[in-house]
Structure 1
Amino acid sequence: MDIAIWIFLSSGLFLGWSLGANDAANVFGTAVGSKMVKFSTAALICSVMVILGAVISGAGASHTLGSLGKVSAIGGAFTVALSAATTVYFMTKSGLPVSTGQAIVGAIIGWNLFSGMATDPQVLTKIISTWVMCPILAAVTAVLLYKFITQLINRLRPGLFQLDKWTRIGLITAGAFGSYSLGANNIANVMGVFVPSTPLDPISLFNVEFNATMQLFFIGAVAISVGVFTYSKKVMMTVGDNLISMTPVTAWVVVMAHSIVLFIFSSQSLSNAFVSIGLPSIPLVPVSSSQAVIGAVIGIALLKRLPLQWKVLGRVVTGWIITPVLSAIACFIGLFIVQNLFNQTVI
């Protein structure tokens, strides 16, 4: 791969690192926060499953972002990814579990404004609707799961050590499932903008051909893994332990509800199945793991009438609101600088 391509891809790698530090860790945030799974174990499983999900099933959600804005020049793709990554990085520094998807959408809108391209209102409405649907669906799923699992436990009446073992295995399994879904769903945020413009040739390894998109998604997934290991623990503790005090069973319910919601918005097969029975298709849109986790936590808190840390929640919601706005502004300014100061083609 040419060194110039690596320079342009560096912003996507930075965005992948930011996602790993912020969003990807949330699949194990409740497990680590409840001290049922060690951070090192969670980070390792999360990293491996994110890579598998990105390479095997990562193409679905990228089409929706492409419909929002087709960034056709690699200089523009570099700036879009850099703007989103910088926004997520500063939010992460503040300990806020913001959405990488919101950051990349804001950056694409900034590119549309700079280039004079129209932003499709139907696509934008579909994306924003998933931002609202995601935490609500996670809250409902968490409530239903909690009622089911508590009834099951009451019926089986396992001993304390047996319940502890089941919960630990359940948290690891749910976290692995959620990590795979996250890789499939959110890799479009990291490398999707580079797909139209990056000149990569297909390569063959062990008689398996990897096209340019799969190569980009693999590189981005590795960057996510690095972010998980190096900088995710602070955000894990914000999501996992600061909003409400959780028991191990509650932690499992939150992780599983989050994982199911991410899978719903990632699965092309599930969307096709809905269409085949006459229902509307599920929008395949990169959604925020942070929003899913926090929605699930709020659902459990309301069900059990637990006290919520409203100050922490207020800071998180504020981050969700300002992230796309800051990212759009940063992208517009960045495109002007890259085009006029560095003489790079961005449109």
Structure 2
Amino acid sequence: MALIVTLIFLSSGLFLGWSMGANDASNAFGTAVATRMVRFPTAAFLCSTFLIIGAVTSGSGAAEGLSQLGAINALPGAFTAALAAALTVAWMSAVGLPASTGQAVVGSIIGWNLFSGSPTDLGTLGRIAATWVVSPVLGAIFAMLLYKLLVAWISLTKPHLLSLDRNTRSGLLLAGIFGSYALGANGIGNVMGFFVEASPFRDLNLGPFEVSSVEQLFLIGAIAVAVGVYTYSRRVMMTVGDSLLTLSPLAALVVVVSHSLVLFLFSSTALESLLAGWGLPTIPLLPVSGSQAVIGSVLGIGLLQGMKGVRQIRWGVLGGIASGWITTPLIAAVIGFVLLFVVQNVFGQEVYQASRPLAVAVLAAGPAAL
């Protein structure tokens, strides 16, 4: 019975993982599929495999950064907040817009903070909001630099057309693998970060290996993301990869690499330690929007082509995407607040544990606490 209850409460996180796979996870291979350089079944398999590896091995950094915004301390509350984010992203996916799972998660956490009376860490919120601007800008900068370097290399080496096509296809596969790994490492905090404080699992000791409760959460969430990639990501792949700006295969390669670099920067604990060791400012480990990084990279390619590229950008599509970025956190916050009210007052579930004053806590614990 306890296992069934646990699975029920985790189901919203799994739904959110599926929504992320249907939306954000497509970015690693979206431009490759849209340019017909990689078949969708191949892209879905590689994306799912390396996304799971990235989530389990490197997902803790960004997840910990997100937890500073608000730590949901009751399993029913985590279920409800994750459900609010998942419903928001699923609706955006249904209309073909690449909504940011991270923005929906932030909105639902703020909704929980408001409902429970918990403070929202404004410093963390400010850093997260800053990434919504920085990630597309970095994507555009990386794309322009990489595109110039790639064009210069082609002009210098003058490869045969067939050789260039083969190398581009291989590059898209490798870049997609890197992007999938980076997305798993950066994005799994959005999927299962709700449940870290109220995790229903215990650490497992498997001989020479130890699997923590958080790693178990990340594995389950990553599998749900993989299911979303297989079942519903093709439509958003075409929106991101082709509707905004028609890309050549070389440009598609640059976009995938740029997007992957942005995610890697905001999720690598090794890079953070390296910068700190050199006495340099570190990059905050936070979940960032893969969709925003991809679109910034695509715009960077268009701007690099001058007025011709600017005219080719489908500004109406961009406006629709940008409006989704603005409304996503607001919608998630409202849905989260309403659902929390319903779950607590209609279904009688405790969606948050109110902190008690120290004196009250000591009296309740009895003499053993003294």
Q: TM-score range by the shorter chain?
A: over 0.9
Distance in 1 (CA, whole Å) between partners of 2:203 and 2:26 is: 31
Amino acid at match of 1:135: P
What residue is the counterpart of 2:91 in the other structure? 90
Corresponding residue for 1:313? Answer: 318
Describe the shift of the 1:205–1:45 C-alpha distance in structure 2 as closer, same or farther (beyond 3 A). farther
Name the residue aligned to 2:335. 330
Offset, 1:156 = 0.9
Which amino acid in 2 is paired with 1:297?
Answer: V
Find the structure with the greater CA-based Rg: 2
In 2, Cα distance between equivalents of 1:286 and 1:120 = 16
Range moving further from structure 2, 277-286 or 329-338: 277-286
Per-residue displacement from partner, 1:163-210 (whole Å, max 9, x unpaired)? 000000000000000000000000000001101112212224473211
Separation in 2 of the partners of 1:17 and 1:123? 26
In the alignment, residue 349 of structure 2 is paired with which amino acid? Q
Separation (CA, whole Å) in 2 of partners of 1:241 and 1:205: 46
Task: Map 1:208-227 to 2 at 5 A.
Answer: 208-227=209-228
Q: Which residue of 2 aligns with 1:198?
A: 199
Residue matched to 1:36: 37
Partner in structure 1 of residue 248 of structure 2: 247
> Which amino acid letter does the alignment assign opposite residue 268 of structure 1?
T
Q: Report the counterpart of residue 160 of structure 1 in structure 2.
A: 161
Residue in structure 1 matched with residue 361 of structure 2 by the alignment: none
The match for 1:271 is 272
CA distance in 1, matches of 2:187, 2:267: 9
Shift of 1:245: 1.1
Q: TM-score, normalised by structure 2?
A: 0.92
Matched residue SS, 2:80: helix
Question: Match for 2:313: what amino acid?
Answer: L
Greater Cα offset, 205-214 or 284-293: 205-214
Which residue of structure 2 lines up, in the alignment, with residue 108 of structure 1?
A: 109
1:23 aligns with 2:28: no
Match of 1:259 in 2: 260
Aligned-partner SS, 2:129: helix
Corresponding position of 1:288: 289
Distance 2:234 2:122 in 1: 37
2:88 maps to a residue whose letter is T
Partner of 2:100: 99
- Cα distance in 2, alignment partners of residues 230 and 34 from structure 1: 20
Larger deviation, residues 298-307 vs 82-91: 298-307
Q: Find out whether 1:180 has 2:181 as its counterpart.
A: yes
Most deviating of 117-126 and 199-208: 199-208
What amino acid sits opposite 1:20 in the alignment?
A: G
Report the counterpart of residue 300 of structure 1 in structure 2: 301
1:50 paired residue number: 51
Equivalent of residue 347 in structure 2, options 322, 342, 346: 342
- Partner residue, 2:368: none
Deviates more, 1:200-209 or 1:249-258: 200-209
1:146 is the counterpart of 2:147: yes
Equivalent pair of 2:199/2:214 in contact (CA under 8 Å): no
Aligned letter for 1:48? T
Q: Structure 1 CA distance, aligned partners of 2:221 and 2:206?
A: 19
Return the letter of the residue paired with 1:322.
Answer: T
Q: Is the 8 A contact 1:5 1:198 kept in 2?
A: no
Please give the alpha-carbon distance, in whole angstroms, between the structure 2 residues aligned to 1:37 and 1:204: 40
- Residue 356 of structure 2 corresponds to none
SS in 1 for 2:60: coil
CA distance in 2, matches of 1:230, 1:190: 18
In the alignment, which residue of structure 2 is the partner of 1:6?
A: 7
One-letter code aligned to 1:104? V
Give the deviation of 1:278 after TM superposition. 2.5
* 2:217 alignment partner AA: L
Conserved? CA contact 1:58–1:184, under 8 Å: yes
Inter-partner Cα distance in structure 1 for 2:202 and 2:107 = 30
- Does residue 74 of structure 1 match 2:79? no
Q: What's the secondary structure of 2:210's corresponding residue?
A: strand
Q: What is the CA distance between 1:271 and its match in structure 2?
A: 1.5
CA separation of 1:157 and 1:205: change in aligned 2, threshold 3 A: farther
Deviations 1:256-291 (A, max 9, x none): 011111100110111222222222210111011100
State the 1:322 CA deviation. Answer: 0.2
Specify the code of the residue in structure 2 equivalent to 1:125: G
How many pairs are equivalent?
A: 347
CA shift in 2, pair 1:291/1:206, >3 Å = farther
Kept in 2: contact 1:140–1:296 (CA 8 A): yes
Q: How many Å separate the matches in 1 of 2:92 and 2:216?
A: 29
Give the Å deviation of 1:120. Answer: 1.0
Runs (4+) off by over 3 Å: 204-207
Using the aligned pairs only, state the percent identity: 55
Ranges in structure 2 where 5+ consecutive residues have no aligned partner: 353-370
C-alpha offsets along residues 103-122 of structure 1, whole Å, 9 cap, x if unaligned? 00000000000011111111
